[in-house]
Structures are given as structure tokens and as C-alpha cells.
């Protein structure tokens, strides 16, 4: 019987679903969504909202929880079995190292996608009766976009896991990447803008500045979600480093198309955000595979 990455993915899926930490985070994500929906209903705020607005409001939770769930699901994928010695047993069967890597990515992506779908089922079950409408296409697109975000960060985590030799190193890398993308990306972008122009970006800025922001998959997700729901989705973390009085500005003026003079370049169109996801999937996996292929597992 020939063995392929599908066998690795199936076995890995069965192992990951036993992770208590992963399910605790998933329960936290789903529980918080349900809590804020119920609070909105009790306070009366949900009476004036639509299901599309509820989905847009989920953005901040998704920007924080989905990468966290995916990184935790993926960072032990290869390095954990490498340190325990079970990876050598696995490779004694007719699996190639590429089979192992692809199987790990697919298996753990299915787990993350299942957690996301569970969250959206809860939101749909609670949100539709509260809002009184069912925008099926919008719901499907937001779900697909969120799964794409989860798969992207799963690929990042598995790539890191394949490239490192110890669990501690893999954990340090995924924590550092998460902190960079969630908290420090604005400082990096504003810092580069200041080096080039000698001033902080204002309400209107050069297009390349927004391209740099969109290179962050969390920003790409936020922008794409705003486009799908036709609303401005606030960032999860905002350092306030831009020369923009946030509290005094209409959210409409913060949309990218309002902040760039003239027509929007093609690389700032919302569809271009998909490229950010694809790059963040491919690069860590390629680096991880090259290091994993050359690694001495004895």
C-alpha cells in the first residue's frame, strides 16, 4: 500500500484535536463572540444592527484569536515529533519529508478551519435572529476569508516548526512573529515613512506606505473584511504613531481610497490582499522545507 501526505494529514488531525490548549482557545473565541452578541442584544444595540455589521464587528476578535489558534496548532507540528524521536519512526515508512510537511500543514489547517466554522455557526445561530436578516453571500465570503487567515498562520507555524531544532526556539519564533504583526507593524511602517520623508504619515500619504501596511496579513484581512462588509474595521492594536487625530476623524476618511490622492493603484485594490496571504503561506513553508530537508535527524 502506498503512503502519501494524506495519511500524514489524517493521523496528524487525529492527534491535534486532542490538544486541550487549542480547544480552550477555540472555546474562548466562540464564547467571547457569543457573550458580546448577547450583551448587544440585552443592551439593545443589536436591535439597530444588521448581520453584516455583526460580521464586521467580529473582525477584531478574528484578528487576535485566529492567528493565535493557528500558531498554537502548528508550531509543534514537526519539531515536537523531532525532539520526541517519533519523526524518525514516521520517516522509516515510505514517506518523503515533503509528504510530512504537506500532511502537517493540511491536517492542522483542517483543525483550524473546523474551529473557525464552529465560531461562525454560533455567530449565525445567535446573530441572525437578533439582526433579522441573513446575508448568505456576505456570510460565506467572511467565513472563507477568515479560514484563509487561519490557513495562512498555520502555514507560518508549520514552516517555523520545520525550520527549527527545539520546541523553545519554535515557540520564540511564533511569539515574535505574532507580536511583530499584531503590535509592531505600524511602528515599522511609520518608521520607514519617517526615514524617507522626514515626517509621519498624515491623513493622506504615499501609496507605498499603504502597500507596506497591506503586506501584513492581519492588515490584509482587515481591509478585505471592510470591503466585504462595506464598513471600516478598526485595527485590533493601534499605537497612534500616524499624524492623524483618530478620535476626530470620520471612519470613512480612514479608508485607504480616501487617504490616497487620485485613483487607487492596482496594488492597493482589496483583491490584492490575497497576494499577502499567499506570500505569507509560501515563504515560511519554503524556508522550513529547505532546512527540514537538509536536517540531520540522528
pLDDT in tens, 160-185: 999 999 999 999 999 999 999 999 99
State the DSSP string of 218-279: HHHHHHHHHHHHTSPPPPS-----SS--GGGS-GGGGSHHHHSSSSPPGGGSGGGHHHHHHH
pLDDT per residue as tens digits for the range 61-105: 889 889 998 998 899 999 999 998 888 888 888 889 999 999 999
Over 90: is that where the pLDDT of 37 sits?
no
Mean pLDDT over 203-223 rounds to 94
Residues 66, 229, 60, 22, Cα dihedral to 10°: -20
Q: Are 261 and 204 in contact (CB under 8 A)?
A: yes
pTM metric for this prediction:
0.91
d(CA 282, CA 292): 15
pLDDT per residue as tens digits for the range 7-24: 888 888 888 777 777 777
Amino acid at each position: 500500500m502506498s503512503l502519501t501526505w494524506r495519511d500524514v494529514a489524517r493521523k496528524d488531525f487525529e492527534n491535534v484535536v486532542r490538544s486541550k490548549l487549542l480547544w480552550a482557545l477555540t472555546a474562548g473565541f466562540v464564547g467571547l463572540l457569543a457573550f458580546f452578541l448577547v450583551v448587544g442584544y440585552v443592551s439593545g444595540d443589536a436591535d439597530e444592527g444588521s448581520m453584516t455589521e455583526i460580521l464586521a464587528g467580529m473582525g477584531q476578535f478574528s484578528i487576535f484569536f485566529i492567528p493565535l489558534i493557528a500558531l498554537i496548532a502548528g508550531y509543534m507540528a514537526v519539531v515536537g515529533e523531532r525532539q520526541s524521536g517519533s519523526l524518525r519512526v514516521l520517516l522509516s515508512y515510505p514517506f518523503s519529508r515533503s509528504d510530512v510537511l504537506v500532511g502537517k500543514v493540511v491536517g492542522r489547517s483542517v483543525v483550524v478551519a473546523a474551529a473557525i466554522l464552529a465560531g461562525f455557526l454560533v455567530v449565525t445561530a445567535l446573530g441572525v435572529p437578533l439582526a433579522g436578516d441573513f446575508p448568505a453571500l456576505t456570510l460565506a465570503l467572511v467565513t472563507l476569508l477568515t479560514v484563509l487567515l487561519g490557513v495562512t498562520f498555520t502555514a507560518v507555524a508549520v514552516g517555523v516548526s520545520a525550520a527549527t531544532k527545539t520546541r523553545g526556539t519554535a515557540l520564540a519564533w511564533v511569539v515574535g512573529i505574532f507580536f511583530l504583526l499584531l503590535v509592531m507593524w505600524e511602528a515599522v511602517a511609520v518608521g520607514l515613512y519617517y526615514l524617507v520623508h522626514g515626517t509621519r504619515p498624515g491623513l493622506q500619504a504615499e501609496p507605498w506606505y499603504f502597500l507596506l501596511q497591506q503586506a501584513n496579513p492581519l492588515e490584509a484581512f482587515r481591509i478585505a473584511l471592510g470591503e466585504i462588509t462595506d464598513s471600516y474595521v478598526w485595527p485590533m492594536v493601534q499605537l497612534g504613531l500616524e499624524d492623524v487625530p483618530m478620535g476626530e476623524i470620520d471612519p470613512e476618511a480612514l479608508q485607504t481610497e480616501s487617504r490616497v490622492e487620485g485613483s487607487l493603484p492596482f496594488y492597493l485594490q482589496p483583491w490584492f490582499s490575497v497576494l499577502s496571504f499567499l506570500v505569507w503561506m509560501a515563504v515560511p513553508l519554503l524556508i522550513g522545507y529547505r532546512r527540514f530537508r537538509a536536517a540531520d535527524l540522528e
